[in-house]
Amino acid sequence: MNRKLLLQVCLIVLQPVYATLFAQSKQAQNPVIFADVPDLSVLRVGDTYYMSSTAMHLSPGVPIMKSRDLVNWKLVSYAYDTLAGMDELNLANGKSTYGRGSWASSIRYHNNTYYVTTFAQTTGKTYIFSTKDPEKGPWKRISFKPSFHDHSLFFDDDGRVYLLFGAGKLRLVELNEDLTGPKPGGIDQVVIENASLPAGNGPGLAAEGSQLFKVNGKYYLFNITWPRGGMRTVVVHRADKITGPYEGRVALQDKGVAQGGLVNTPEGNWYAYLFRDFGSVGRIPYLVPVKWEDGWPQLGVDGKVPETLALPASKGLIPGIVAPDEFTRKAGEPALPLVWQWNHNPDNALWSVKARKGFLRLTTGRIDTSFLLARNTLTQRTIGPLCTGSTKLDVSGMKKGDFAGLCLLQKNYGLLGVRADGDQKSIVMINASTGKPVETQAIPLNQKEVYLKAECNFTDKKDVADFFYSLDGKTWRPAGTQLKMAYTIPQFIGYRFGLFNYATQVTGGSADFDFFHITDTIAETK
């Protein structure tokens, strides 16, 4: 066979393969968001989707995202700036609210109004936020006790309003018409005694994360449970009345993808929005096709989570979910883009993007001995499978004992920054992979500016990060030791990039950050 004929045969044989690959490249891929967006709740109004998510200890809280295709999302607002002013939320007097703060949210639309609800162990309250415009606000706040765990807000067709909540034993409580709290004399009863039961083997995690829907006159309740010895599992119950009786079954048990609910497209296609624990990057959203059979939602493709979806391809998470920042602001622009969240409530008197044009200035206002208890660390998500965060730091305003720089925030954190020791300044890397901070390198710094960089590799849960510094922004040198990242329950969030400055001896020092850059690559896959 001559070469020309051989080439033609190869093209004919490989054409279906190329066609498949090309088609897949134009489709959405799971996970649809490779970043920490846990406890997602999604709704569609017209041709627009809105999603809310858990905020935990971060401020502002309850992020609201917008999409036109269920795949490409952009942050558009937050339900609140600060949840409350108390020591735990302010990182004051040695207290914090890591792993608590506000938890799973529920987003709903009723009578031309958007509602987002959440609850907080820290305050012991349930919160209901409402607005006519989820992008511009303002958000009206209602709060009341108690804190209803993992509740789902539900407006029924007869005008009555409910919260369905709990873990294992699920309870329905009717609310006042104005949503100001439980309705005196209203429905308040257990509707499912053991929602974990359809998954069998006894729960390692009792069924929780309730999301309640009404489809074709029937009520459908989605929960996550974790059978002992198994994996995170989606359980669905249905009933003809909101009070039950409910019958349940396992709806999905694959890859641990679970917790969420239902959404449909304008074309009438159905999807389940769910998340998956994926190591140190956090809890990442997946979409799973849904078909209806005999009045039940059938999740997945042959019961499995597909890698591709019949939806538009992702354009990437930058700048919708994370974004670089030059810290330059035009008139009328917000001081900080929505991608930023503070670690706990900030002290707004001690940070500025106006004090020095084109810079973020973090000024110390108290003495701290622990990075995790230091205030005003400004953070945004890491993203997978690879990402790099970098900054340029001017240290000329730092005072004795100050430590400022770039961090990867979680309990087992990593820090690369500049420490001021008297007249001498040093580039210092702190590695807390073991849960305890260890200084792994200190390098004298004899200039006022330094570049800092952290590279994260979440591929196949590799979960490692490497830090680098540069004196000129061109030649990079490794700093310290590799950080082994770990998702820990005490913080309950994926790793976040952060910019920090705290004092250990005297107050009033400042650190100026020229920019923060983030990319979805690293210099070298390690």
CATH number for the domain harbouring residue 199: 2.115.10.20
Do the domain assignments include residue 367? yes
What residues are paired with 248 via a beta bridge? 237
Co-location of 7 and 80 in the same domain: no
CB 396 within 8 A of CB 361: no
Can you tell me the distance from the alpha carbon of 154 to that of 182, in angstroms, rounded to the nearest whole number?
13
pLDDT over 80 (residue 134): yes
Same structural domain, 74 and 17: no
Q: What is the DSSP string of 388-442?
A: EEEEEEE-TT--TT-EEEEEEESSS-EEEEEEEETTEEEEEEEE-TTSS-EEEEE
**Rounded to an integer, what distance in angstroms lies between the CA atom of residue 212 and that of residue 107?**
11
pLDDT at 314 > cutoff 80 = yes
- The pLDDT assigned to 423 comes to 83
Residue with tokens 């003495």: 367
pLDDT given for residue 79 in this prediction: 98
- First vs last Cα of the chain: how many Å apart? 44
217 shares a domain with 128: yes
In a domain, 335, yes or no: no
The verdict on residue 186 lying in a domain is yes
Asked whether the predicted pLDDT for residue 3 surpasses 80, the reply is: no
237 domain residue, yes or no: yes
Cα(489)–Cα(199) distance, integer angstroms: 24
Note whether 275 and 259 are within 8 A (CB). Answer: yes
Within-domain flag for 295: no
Percentage of the chain exceeding pLDDT 90: 92
Return d(Cα 278, Cα 284) in angstroms, integer.
7
SS3 200: coil
Average pLDDT over residues 386-408: 98
pLDDT digits (tens, 9 = 90+) for 218-258: 999 999 999 998 999 999 999 999 999 999 999 999 999 99
15 and 44, same domain (yes or no): no
Domain edge (last residue) among 251, 267, 283: 267
Place 2 in a pLDDT band, splitting at 50, 70 and 90.
Answer: low
Q: Quick check: is 302 in a domain?
A: no
For residues 143 and 217, state if they share a domain: yes
In a domain, residue 273? The reply is no
pLDDT averaged over every residue in the chain: 94
pLDDT exceeds 70 at position 12: no
Answer with the residue of higher pLDDT: 465 or 205. 465
Residue indicated by tokens 């939320």:
89
Band (201; pLDDT cuts 50, 70, 90): confident
Give the pLDDT confidence score for residue 21 in this predicted structure.
Answer: 38
Domains in the chain: how many in total? 3
Assess whether 241 and 366 both reside in one domain.
no
Whether 111 and 20 map to the same domain: the answer is: no
pLDDT per residue as tens digits for the range 266-309: 999 999 999 999 999 999 999 999 999 999 999 999 999 999 99
pLDDT at 254: 98
Are residues 418 and 478 located together in one domain of the fold? yes
As given in the structure block, the two tokens for residue 243 are 């009070």
Side chain identity at 18, as an amino acid letter? Y
pLDDT average, residue stretch 135-145: 97
Residue 1 above 80 pLDDT? no
**Strands 203-215 and 188-192, bridge-based pairing:** unpaired
Question: Which residue, chain included where needed, has tokens 């954190």?
Answer: 413
At 11 the pLDDT is 44
Which CATH number does the domain housing residue 503 bear? 2.60.120.200
Higher pLDDT, 397 or 17: 397
* 327 φ, ψ (degrees, to nearest 5): 60, 25
Q: Can you give the residue range of the structural domain that contains 61?
A: 40-267
Quick check: is 326 in a domain? no
Peptide bond into 385 cis (omega under 30): yes
Do 89 and 13 share a structural domain?
no
